Amino acid sequence: MKSLLLVAIGGVAGTLVRFGLSVAIPNDRSGTLAANLVGVAFASALLVLMERRGVTELRHLLLPGFCAGMTTFSAVTVQVVEPISGGPLFLAENVFLSLLIVLIVLPLSRRLIPVRK
């Protein structure tokens, strides 16, 4: 039950950040891309942090909670189906840039976050 509550709290916080990004970046396509890329970068760094200093409660709060609440595959899907919002190219852009972020952030995080002794 504690894990469920932590995921819910993190999800609410992530959703509020996502909403804030949509206010700051009113273009749906750019706002969705920004939220997804920031979420992927944050999740990548958190994965390294959790692997090296893992606290289960923190993992639940931040990964399936906050990061999942902030990123939004449903918006990507809708924008792929609506050609005016980007179409299939938008999906490719999201996937490519997300993978690129992971390829940059994971090694960088592994260099910067020391293993707990």
Contacts of 51 (CB under 8 A, 6+ apart): none
pLDDT at 85: 63
Q: How far is residue 15's CA from residue 2's CA, in Å, rounded to a whole number?
A: 20
Does residue 55 fall inside a structural domain?
Answer: yes
Q: What range does the domain containing 45 cover? A: 2-112
Look at residue 117 and tell me if it is in a domain.
Answer: no
Domain count, the chain: 1
Provide the mean pLDDT of the chain. 90
- φ/ψ of 77, rounded to 5, equals -60, -45
What confidence tens digit (pLDDT) does each residue in 63-92 have?
999 999 999 888 888 888 887 767 888 889
Query: What's the rounded Cα separation, in Å, for the pair 4 and 29?
Result: 31
pLDDT tens track for 91-109: 899 999 999 999 999 999 9
Whether 36 maps to a domain, the answer reads yes
Q: Which two structure tokens, joined as six digits, stand for 31?
A: 């706002």
Give me the half-sphere count of Cα atoms (radius 13 Å) on the Cβ side of residue 79.
Answer: 20
pLDDT in tens, 14-52: 999 999 998 999 888 899 899 999 999 999 999 999 888
